[in-house]
Amino acid sequence: MKNVEPNNKISKMMVSLAWLGFLAMLVIGFDRYLEKQSNPNERPDVIYDSDGSAEVTLKQNRQGHYIADGKLNGHWVTFVLDTGATNISIPAKVAGAMNLTKGRPEGTRTANGDIIVYRITLDSVELGSIKLKNVAAHINPHMDGSAVLLGMSFLKHVEMTQKDEQLTLRLKPKKKASATRSF
């Protein structure tokens, strides 16, 4: 009888551990599912059109926004495409992690009112196969979170076509511009 009792305890413990492992896997899987719903464009495809033009197609997230991972000066960030933003807007916390130095202060108007931001020029901005150099941006000490607003200082260099909950960005043909392009 004494031999049965320890085995019974071990069996119960093994079943409990199996259930805990199963629940942990469910939580991790669900977390990844939610992240994919928020940002369905974690690593946009690198595509070149038949004429050699760089092109990126993004899927809308569940809220109807276009969110994608890309690079600022070689550092991975998450972009929120914002045609209402004049420049790329980088939260101060993200800028600090990238060792960006605040430039000259300037006033800007946001949906939450007038604020002071710090103007900088980024060496490079990449979204999938689209890469621009010397792009205007600002460090925004008033932004929460870690998402970077990808504003018109980048978007004005691409043609945008929206269809069926997808946005295709294609690098415009080269002409004189304030930002330079590279492939």
Do 32 and 58 lie in a common domain?
no
| Residues 101, 85: Cα–Cα separation, whole Å | 21
Do 21 and 55 lie in a common domain?
no
Do 62 and 85 lie in a common domain?
yes
Do 174 and 102 lie in a common domain?
yes
Q: Is the pLDDT reported for residue 6 higher than 80?
A: no
Q: Is the pLDDT reported for residue 8 higher than 50?
A: yes
Q: Is the pLDDT reported for residue 34 higher than 60?
A: no
Q: How many CB atoms lie within 10 A of CB 86?
A: 15
Do 66 and 149 lie in a common domain?
yes
Residues 6 or more apart in contact with residue 54 via CB below 8 angstroms: 47, 48, 128, 129, 130, 131, 170, 171, 183
What residues make up the domain containing 67? 47-181
Do 82 and 166 lie in a common domain?
yes
State how many domains the chain has.
Answer: 2
Structure-token pair, residue 169: 């960005």
| Residues 119, 136: Cα–Cα separation, whole Å | 7
Q: pLDDT tens digit string along 116-171?
A: 999 999 999 999 989 999 999 999 999 999 999 999 999 999 999 999 989 999 98
Do 9 and 64 lie in a common domain?
no
Do 97 and 171 lie in a common domain?
yes
Do 128 and 56 lie in a common domain?
yes
Q: pLDDT tens digit string along 45-93?
A: 667 777 777 889 999 988 889 999 999 999 999 999 999 999 999 999 9
Q: Is the pLDDT reported for residue 18 higher than 90?
A: no
Do 19 and 62 lie in a common domain?
no
Do 100 and 130 lie in a common domain?
yes
Q: Is the pLDDT reported for residue 29 higher than 90?
A: no
The DSSP bridge partners found for residue 168 are: 57, 161
pLDDT at 110: 86
Do 131 and 164 lie in a common domain?
yes
